[in-house]
Amino acid sequence: MSIRERLSGNEAVAVALKQIDPDVVAAYPITPSTEVPQYFAQFVADGQVNTEFVTVESEHSAMSACITATAAGGRSATITSACGLALMWELLYVASGSRLPVTLAVVNRALSGPININNDHSDSMGARDSGWIQLYSENNQEAYDNYIMSLRIAEHKDVLLPVMTCQDGFITSHAIENIELLEDEKVKKFVGEYKPEHSLLSGEKISIGPYDTPMFYFEHQYQRARAMVDSKKVILDVSKEFAALSGREYGLFEEYKMEDAERAIVVLNSTAGTAKAVCDELRANGEKVGILKLRVYRPFPMEEIAKALAHVKAVAVMDKAESFSAMGGPVFNDVRSACYELKTRPHIINYIYGLGGRDVPTTDIKIVFDALKEVVKNDKPGEIYRHVGVRGV
């Protein structure tokens, strides 16, 4: 029987970590993720876990400690936000390139500068091509569930890639919601033990982090790329097992009232909840609108998204991060590329929104849906790269 609780998103992730009881957790404080290691440190102090909790001098060191612990055959985890993730940058590639299944909870926050401690997705979007699997969470329940599943995904023999699970800073990380927890023993059984085929402490003669000459580097990058492709099936398989355990079903994305939708918004994390509320209101007025909420961003579910959007006349992809490419945000460009091979393509426009923690009211979502109505009416996208919620725009 599940345990009903009221927890913040940060508490939910800390509880998931407690139930998993990793060998090593290394962390450095940074708003708004600080609470997660804070809660976990209390579990360590109270003797509720056997984890070696390492207080390091920086986020770069936190990821270094996790890489070392995982290479030695342990299960490791860390937590960070924003500039902390940016400081890990070099090590993100080392972790994935070494095929080490580290797990990382990212509490999404804007990158400096100017300095800002509030929510957007510029941190994890900047790391989208680092070889890490990325899962996104609409609410606290999903943050908890995704983190538990992330271990099974990362440690699968066909994957062996690190996973970052993302949730919105302050919006879900600090907001208290009703949540259903699994019993400790069920989580332990679900994640199982980490038993790597090779490790530094296995007695084998192996090397971690060697110099890779042109004779081998390309092949190793190919293997990492294929593992990312293969991870899609593993994610779905693990999600199916988790559904049997918890009753909560997850796919690569969620289709909300998309069956007959003519206009659709693609969005991820907490804004999906706001978009669903607007969708319900417009549906009540007879408008055929829908929401596609991305859960898995890396690997990017290209074929599945194209199929889900094939019947839609106009799509707005909402990015809570700027790419500074002058051609739209990262999610927009991936979604647009995914739809390229469709025989009948929807018109696709981009909206950058909510940067630096700017509120995203229902009125902004209505503006986007109204813009899509004009796109359908005129049968042309008009301006593709747009912003919503900016003063004077």
d(CA 46, CA 40) in angstroms, rounded, equals: 10
Verify that 276 and 221 share a domain, yes or no: no
Verify that 25 and 146 share a domain, yes or no: yes
Verify that 176 and 263 share a domain, yes or no: no
Determine contact, residues 364/389, Cβ cutoff 8 Å: yes
Domain membership flag for residue 393: no
Domain membership flag for residue 236: yes
Domain membership flag for residue 364: yes
Verify that 227 and 258 share a domain, yes or no: no
Domain membership flag for residue 238: yes
Domain membership flag for residue 38: yes
In this prediction, residue 357 carries a pLDDT of: 98
Determine contact, residues 79/37, Cβ cutoff 8 Å: yes
Beta bridge partners of 318: 351
Determine contact, residues 287/321, Cβ cutoff 8 Å: no
Domain membership flag for residue 102: yes
Q: How far is Cα of residue 238 from the mean position of the Cα atoms in its chain?
A: 16
Verify that 227 and 273 share a domain, yes or no: no
**Residue position matching structure tokens 């994390």:** 269
In this prediction, residue 30 carries a pLDDT of: 98
Determine contact, residues 181/5, Cβ cutoff 8 Å: yes
Verify that 101 and 190 share a domain, yes or no: yes
DSSP, collapsed to helix, strand or coil, labels residue 48 as: coil
- Residue 118 corresponds to which tokens in the numbers above? 């509030």
Last residue of a domain, one of 225, 246, 267: 246
In this prediction, residue 1 carries a pLDDT of: 63
The domain of 122 spans 3-246
Verify that 291 and 378 share a domain, yes or no: yes
In this prediction, residue 230 carries a pLDDT of: 98
Domain membership flag for residue 34: yes
Question: What are the start-end ranges of the H helices in the chain?
Answer: 9-20, 35-45, 59-71, 82-87, 89-97, 122-126, 140-155, 184-191, 217-246, 271-284, 302-309, 330-338, 362-378
Strands of the sheet with 289-294, listed across from one edge:
253-256, 289-294, 263-268, 314-319, 347-352, 385-387
Radius of gyration (C-alpha) of the chain in whole angstroms: 21
CATH label of the domain that carries residue 137? 3.40.50.970
Q: Which residues of the chain have pLDDT under 70?
A: 1
Determine contact, residues 183/148, Cβ cutoff 8 Å: no
Verify that 303 and 174 share a domain, yes or no: no
Angle between helices 89-97 and 59-71 in degrees, nearest 10:
10
In this prediction, residue 209 carries a pLDDT of: 83
CATH label of the domain that carries residue 280? 3.40.50.920
In this prediction, residue 204 carries a pLDDT of: 86
Verify that 156 and 14 share a domain, yes or no: yes
Domain membership flag for residue 382: yes
d(CA 391, CA 370) in angstroms, rounded, equals: 19
Instruction: For residue 32, say if its preceding peptide bond is cis, omega within 30 degrees of 0.
Output: yes
Determine contact, residues 356/269, Cβ cutoff 8 Å: no
Total number of domains in the chain: 2
Last residue of a domain, one of 246, 276, 301: 246
Verify that 201 and 326 share a domain, yes or no: no
Length of the chain: 393
Verify that 183 and 298 share a domain, yes or no: no
Determine contact, residues 293/308, Cβ cutoff 8 Å: no
Verify that 190 and 332 share a domain, yes or no: no
- pTM for the model stands at 0.97
In this prediction, residue 192 carries a pLDDT of: 97
